[in-house]
């Protein structure tokens, strides 16, 4: 035993010397750690999105017997098959949701928005898998619904599992879930910048670098992963569009107003359809089957209503669809989307919204071109701008919409009318109605927040548990503690648990090359009592001021009356919590419960 202990101890010293070298030479910070986790979350999110995409293709092949695109495959089917496939798919999705309740045993169906806004960042895995499986049947059978919703949810689940596995704090896990959401959007649309701004602008309510930086890293990692493992390319390959003359600015402004007027009615139609289907009181499988039946009836004559509308948008942007036929497709697609969404089919309406905008823009451009050719030289350019304008008006996120349209098409010359039209559409829609594509869901989830904390919050809401050493602990015990924690400071207490000081990683540097210190040095010899402390009742603002005077990344939380060490406050957690509060105020005053628990 006498020979084994020194060998173990020498190994401890070697590991500590390596850690000290990393700290001194590379100077890793908590933010760099956050970026590393964000990159991993991006890769995991991309893998989850790719698996979901392959699942949709498998369901589609089983139901239709063909691996062609959604619209093309429905064109090859007989009329009764066009009717049956969406109905069967809707029923199957409903059965998955119904019997899936037994699998997750009443587990909450928390989605990524709820986990970011009001939760601790934990997303139920089984409930999410059940809902995503149901979405495969809805989408794969031709439902007029987007696939981006489940892809984002699965990516967020992967990020949440990563954060919980690494035992990160609640603010860090929430940020990691947001990174998962950004990676899901980036994977769905091959648009990393838009994926970052989607989460920052719509959900977090802030584009501060503390949150936007990790979101961008995650989205880029996801995009690179998708491009490596699949044949991902620019989503909408379109001809080069340009602003042909200044006279076109006038019609573009009018298009912005029209998009702003149409967006609220499009959203209202979805909510009306939802209330109408709910009023039927049908069981979930029958309600989803009814939604699929509506889509199937429309598909008998207009197969373009099936799917999320991507192929139809591509046809519009490339001038492959006559305006007379587009009017019929436009009306039928709107009804089909309302039926799919209203019936409760799992999925998203992001891509169907892009279709409505493209159809509106193209029809408007054709009308202007017929009356005044110089005002709309190329109606397809109006389709492209209409996509961004309606998305900006529906989501109330014009910056995200502008960036997304640019990334999906890489058409730089159209950026000026796109920016102008999107901003006009956004303000027009806001003037009519404050609700957006996601506002009702966000408000509903925020209203369900248990015991919301009022700004500025207290340290008790954020403090973490901490493991300290006692005054009489030997150097070997101190070394083990440093290898068990990610931080550069550990705290010292008396045997009664009262705070006695702090030991920094740099304080033990002189003893790392002398093996005899194990029996000679104790915590009492190394501790310092010059580090500031904070009480559990202190406000976050007071804690921030203490950090401004302290170079470390943690502060000991000490009870003012008893002097006992109750936990530790991490600077990164504090900054993220303040950032969340600022974003909540911008979203309308809903504050997250800042609990680490």
Going from N- to C-terminal start, the domains of the chain cover: 30-229, 246-447, 454-587
Q: How many CA atoms, within 13 angstroms, populate the side-chain half-sphere of residue 18?
A: 7
Regions of the chain short of the pLDDT cut 70: 1-10, 12-13, 16, 19-20, 22-29, 104-111, 114-120, 205-206, 232-235, 440-456, 511, 513-519, 579-597
Alpha helices, H only, 190-248: 192-197, 209-229
Alpha helices, H only, 27-78: 30-64, 70-76
Count of residues making up the chain: 597
CATH class of this structure's domain 30-229: mainly alpha
Q: What span, in angstroms and rounded, lies between the C-alpha atoms of 282 and 157?
A: 30
Element at 537 (helix H, strand E): none
Q: What span, in angstroms and rounded, lies between the C-alpha atoms of 289 and 293?
A: 6
Angle at 294 (CA atoms; ends 393, 184), nearest 5 degrees: 45
Alpha helices, H only, 119-208: 125-140, 148-165, 170-189, 192-197
Positive or negative torsion for Cα 310, 314, 317, 319: negative
- My answer on whether omega of the bond before 456 falls inside 30° of 0, hence cis, is yes
The predicted pLDDT at position 40 comes to 97
Q: What span, in angstroms and rounded, lies between the C-alpha atoms of 339 and 294?
A: 7
Residue in 56, 78, 80, 60 with CA at minimum distance from that of residue 68: 60
Q: What span, in angstroms and rounded, lies between the C-alpha atoms of 208 and 144?
A: 36
Q: What span, in angstroms and rounded, lies between the C-alpha atoms of 439 and 456?
A: 24
Alpha-carbon dihedral angle through residues 255, 261, 267, 268, given to the nearest 10 degrees: -150
Q: What is the distance, to the nearest Å, from the Cα of residue 168 to the centroid of all Cα atoms in its chain?
A: 18
The predicted pLDDT at position 1 comes to 38
Q: What is the CATH number of domain 454-587?
A: 3.10.580.10
Residue 61: Cβ within 10 Å count: 14
pTM over 0.85: no
Q: Do domains 246-447 and 454-587 have the same CATH topology?
A: no
Assess if CATH 1.10.3080.10 describes domain 246-447: yes
Q: What residues contact residue 282 under an 8 Å CB cut-off, 6+ apart?
A: 290
Residue 503, beta-bridge partner list: 490
CA distances from 201 to 218, 301, 415, 419, 586 (A): 16, 40, 20, 16, 10
Q: Are 554 and 489 in contact (CB under 8 A)?
A: yes
The predicted pLDDT at position 43 comes to 97
Q: What span, in angstroms and rounded, lies between the C-alpha atoms of 502 and 176?
A: 30
Q: Are 235 and 219 in contact (CB under 8 A)?
A: no
Q: What is the distance, to the nearest Å, from the Cα of residue 383 to the centroid of all Cα atoms in its chain?
A: 28
3-state secondary structure of 568: strand
Q: Are 218 and 224 in contact (CB under 8 A)?
A: no
Q: How many CA atoms, within 13 angstroms, populate the side-chain half-sphere of residue 354?
A: 26
State the maximum Cα–Cα separation within the chain, in Å, rounded to a whole number: 97
Q: What span, in angstroms and rounded, lies between the C-alpha atoms of 156 and 47?
A: 12
Q: Are 174 and 88 in contact (CB under 8 A)?
A: no
Gyration radius of the chain over CA positions: 28
Q: What span, in angstroms and rounded, lies between the C-alpha atoms of 252 and 406?
A: 17
- Phi then psi for residue 496, to 5 deg, are -85, -5
User: Tokens 């070997």 sit at which residue?
Assistant: 476
Q: What span, in angstroms and rounded, lies between the C-alpha atoms of 455 and 451?
A: 13
Q: Which two tokens stand for residue 418?
A: 């796109």
The predicted pLDDT at position 117 comes to 60
DSSP 474: B
Q: Are 225 and 43 in contact (CB under 8 A)?
A: yes
Q: What residues contact residue 556 under an 8 Å CB cut-off, 6+ apart?
A: 466, 491, 499, 502, 531, 533, 534, 565, 568, 569
Positive or negative torsion for Cα 462, 466, 470, 476: negative
């Amino acid at each position: 035993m006498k020979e084994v202990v020194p060998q173990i101890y020498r190994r401890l010293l070697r590991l500590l010397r390596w850690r000290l070298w990393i700290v001194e030479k590379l100077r890793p910070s908590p933010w760099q750690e956050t970026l590393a986790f964000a990159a991993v979350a991006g890769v995991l999110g991309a893998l989850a999105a790719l698996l979901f995409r392959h699942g949709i293709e498998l369901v589609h092949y089983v139901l239709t017997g063909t691996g062609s695109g959604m619209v093309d495959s429905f064109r090859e089917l007989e009329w009764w098959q066009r009717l049956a496939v969406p109905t069967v798919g809707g029923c199957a999705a409903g059965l998955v949701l119904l019997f899936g309740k037994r699998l997750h045993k009443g587990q909450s169906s928390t989605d990524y928005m709820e986990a970011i806004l009001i939760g601790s960042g934990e997303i139920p895995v089984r409930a999410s898998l059940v809902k995503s499986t149901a979405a495969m049947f809805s989408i794969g059978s031709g439902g007029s619904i987007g696939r981006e919703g489940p892809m984002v949810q699965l990516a967020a689940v992967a990020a949440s599992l990563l954060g919980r596995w690494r035992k990160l704090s609640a603010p860090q896990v929430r940020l990691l879930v947001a990174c998962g959401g950004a990676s899901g959007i980036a994977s769905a649309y091959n648009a990393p910048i838009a994926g970052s701004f989607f989460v920052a602008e719509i959900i977090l309510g802030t584009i501060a670098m503390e949150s936007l930086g990790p979101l961008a890293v995650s989205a880029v990692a996801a995009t690179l992963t998708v491009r490596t493992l699949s044949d991902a390319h620019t989503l909408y390959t379109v001809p080069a569009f340009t602003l042909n003359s200044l006279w076109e600015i006038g019609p573009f402004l009018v298009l912005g107003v029209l998009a702003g007027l149409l967006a609220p009615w499009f959203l209202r139609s979805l909510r009306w359809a939802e209330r109408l289907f709910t009023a039927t009181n049908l069981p979930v499988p029958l309600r989803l089957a009814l939604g699929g039946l509506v889509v199937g009836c429309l598909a008998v004559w207009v197969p373009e209503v099936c799917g999320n509308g991507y192929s139809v948008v591509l046809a519009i942007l490339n001038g492959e669809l006559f305006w007379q036929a587009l009017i019929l497709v436009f009306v039928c697609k709107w009804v089909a989307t309302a039926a799919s969404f209203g019936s409760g089919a799992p999925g998203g309406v992001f891509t169907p919204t892009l279709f409505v905008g493209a159809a509106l823009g193209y029809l408007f451009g054709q009308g202007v071109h017929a009356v005044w050719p110089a005002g709309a030289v190329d109606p397809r350019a109006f389709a492209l701008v209409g996509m961004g304008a309606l998305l900006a008006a529906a989501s109330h996120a014009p910056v995200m919409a502008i960036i997304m349209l640019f990334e999906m098409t890489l058409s730089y010359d159209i950026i000026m009318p796109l920016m102008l039209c999107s901003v006009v559409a956004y303000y027009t829609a806001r003037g009519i109605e404050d609700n957006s594509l996601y506002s009702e869901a966000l408000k509903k989830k925020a209203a369900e927040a248990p015991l919301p904390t009022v700004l500025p919050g207290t340290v008790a809401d954020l403090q973490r548990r901490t493991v300290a050493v006692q005054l009489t602990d030997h150097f070997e015990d101190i070394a083990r503690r440093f290898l068990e924690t990610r931080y550069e400071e550990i705290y010292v207490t008396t045997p009664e648990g009262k705070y006695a000081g702090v030991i920094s990683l740099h304080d033990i540097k002189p003893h790392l090359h002398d093996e005899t210190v194990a029996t000679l040095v104790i915590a009492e010899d190394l501790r310092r009592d010059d580090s500031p402390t904070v009480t559990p009742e202190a406000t976050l603002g007071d804690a921030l001021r203490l950090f401004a005077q302290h170079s470390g990344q943690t502060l000991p939380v000490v009870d003012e009356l008893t002097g006992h060490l109750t936990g530790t406050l991490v600077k990164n957690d504090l900054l993220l919590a303040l950032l969340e509060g600022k974003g909540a105020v911008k979203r309308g005053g809903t504050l997250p419960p800042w609990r680490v628990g």
